[in-house]
Amino acid sequence: MRFSFSRGFGAVLLLLLLGGGAGAWWLWVPSTLAQQVAEVSIEPGTSPKEVAAAVARSGVAVNPTLLYWWFRLSGQSRQIRAGSYEWSGQTSPWQILQKLVRGDASSGSVTLVEGWNIRQVREALRKADRLKPDTAQLSDAQLMQNLGRPGDHPEGRFFPDTYTFSKGSSDTAVLRRAMRAMDKHLATAWTERNPKVPLQTPEQALILASIIEKETGKISEQPEISAVFHNRLILGMRLQTDPTVIYGMGTRFDGNIRKSDLTTDTPYNTYTREGLPPSPISMPGKAAIQAALHPAPSKALYFVARGDGSSEFSATLEAHNRAVNKYQRAP
């Protein structure tokens, strides 16, 4: 009996040693990359399990389950820092964790601003220091092809935020992150939308949000402006919003909008055409997306700028004309 016990204990000890040796070997063996550079963005509050999955999705050839348990067993899982990380060449699970814990992340950042159009987005990327301009020579169509969205209009597809990156990162990676962020915000907002809104698709919500974003920088007024557009859509009225006209003018816009511009038909002229324009006209922020899907309970059909950054809302044309006379035609 004693011999059998000793032999069994020895076998278990041997297995533990072999397992420990295999574990140590796994920690230090470099993992290959699916492409030249693997980039991953860790947002604040991301769990260790989600971090491990994100690293694996980025192109590092590592088992996400094993990586997660390495994070846990190391005792450093709570020390992983948010940020944008980049791996090139080969890297081991040990090196992955050390990089995440040290916060050896990005060396630059670029801010995409609410209300920007795609030309402004691309110009900001071109000027960003330490960011490789891989998309600089691409047309808008080629850009979307490169991002895996062939045929999509690029306007409004990227979420406005500040994006950090490592030295030498590609602007393609930044745009891909911004595109995924917009997809996520839009999908969540669409799921939680007011069921009474007349919008049929998330795309329509994005288009309307882009108009709301351009109509006002006053976030508190966005739900009321959304209500005006929703009320008009329900009644079959034209939206008659200047930002869409300006967008349709493109580079012809010189800072002034004239009566002739309002009557010149383009796909984006909501004075001459009914319904929503064919694509977003700007990059809406989270508040504008929420407003598009949660309009204020209002019967307003018109609004006019007061000149102080706020707007006067009216439910009838007569009231609107009085507001126009008061705020726009006063001596």
Q: What is the DSSP string of 17-80?
A: HHHHHHHHHHHHSPBPBSSSEEEEEE-TT--HHHHHHHHHHTTB---HHHHHHHHHHHT-GGGP
Q: How confident is the model at residue 233 (pLDDT cuts 50, 70, 90)?
A: very high
**Are 202 and 313 contained in the same domain?**
yes
The model's pTM is 0.72
Cβ contact 35:97 at 8 Å:
no
* pLDDT higher than threshold 90 for residue 1: no
Could you tell me which of 39, 168, 20 has the C-alpha nearest to residue 99?
39
Rounded Cα distance, 82 and 98, in Å: 13
Alpha-carbon separation of residue 275 from 33, 303, 331 (angstroms): 48, 18, 35
More confident residue, 93 or 31: 93
Give mean pLDDT, residues 69-98. Answer: 85
* pLDDT higher than threshold 90 for residue 39: no
Residue 282 lies in a domain: yes
Phi then psi for residue 80, to 5 deg, are: -65, 130
Among 105-114, 153-162, 249-258, 303-312, which stretch is predicted with the lowest mean pLDDT?
105-114
Residue 36 lies in a domain: yes
Residue 171 lies in a domain: yes
- Domain closes at, from 67, 102, 137: 102
List pLDDT tens digits, range 93-116.
888 898 888 876 656 788 999 999
Among 175-179, 188-192, 308-312, which stretch is predicted with the lowest mean pLDDT?
308-312
How many independent structural domains does the chain possess?
3
Rounded Cα distance, 150 and 107, in Å: 31
Give mean pLDDT, residues 153-172. Answer: 87
Rounded Cα distance, 51 and 82, in Å: 10
**Are 204 and 283 contained in the same domain?**
yes
The pLDDT value given to residue 300: 95
List pLDDT tens digits, range 275-302.
999 999 999 999 999 999 999 999 999 9
Q: How confident is the model at residue 167 (pLDDT cuts 50, 70, 90)?
A: low
**Are 267 and 167 contained in the same domain?**
no
The pLDDT value given to residue 102: 84
Rounded Cα distance, 167 and 306, in Å: 46
The pLDDT value given to residue 210: 98
Tokens of 284: 């809406």
**Are 142 and 35 contained in the same domain?**
no
List pLDDT tens digits, range 121-161.
999 999 988 888 999 999 999 999 999 999 999 999 999 99
Residue 268 lies in a domain: yes
Among 10-19, 50-59, 196-205, which stretch is predicted with the lowest mean pLDDT?
10-19
Give mean pLDDT, residues 51-79. Answer: 90
- Domain closes at, from 128, 153, 186: 186
**Are 309 and 206 contained in the same domain?**
yes
Which contiguous run of DSSP H or E holds residue 89?
none
Rounded Cα distance, 209 and 287, in Å: 9
Rounded Cα distance, 290 and 32, in Å: 42
Rounded Cα distance, 38 and 33, in Å: 7
Rounded Cα distance, 111 and 126, in Å: 12
Give mean pLDDT, residues 172-194. Answer: 93
Residue 17's Cβ-count burial label (10 Å; 0-12, 13-18, 19+) is exposed
Residue 2 lies in a domain: no
Tokens of 223: 């739900």
Residue 4 lies in a domain: no
* CATH number of the domain that residue 89 is part of: 3.30.1490.480
* pLDDT higher than threshold 90 for residue 14: no
**Are 209 and 132 contained in the same domain?**
no
Residues found in the chain: 331
* Helix/strand/coil for 159: coil
Rounded Cα distance, 75 and 92, in Å: 18
User: Which residue range is the domain that position 43 belongs to?
Assistant: 28-102
**Are 141 and 263 contained in the same domain?**
no
Q: How confident is the model at residue 20 (pLDDT cuts 50, 70, 90)?
A: low
**Are 116 and 239 contained in the same domain?**
no
Cβ contact 131:112 at 8 Å:
no
**Are 51 and 138 contained in the same domain?**
no
- Domain closes at, from 186, 203, 234: 186
Alpha carbon distance, N-terminus to C-terminus of the chain = 109
Residue 53 lies in a domain: yes
**Are 177 and 216 contained in the same domain?**
no
**Are 227 and 261 contained in the same domain?**
yes
The pLDDT value given to residue 15: 40
Q: What percent of the chain has pLDDT over 70?
A: 90
Residue 11 lies in a domain: no
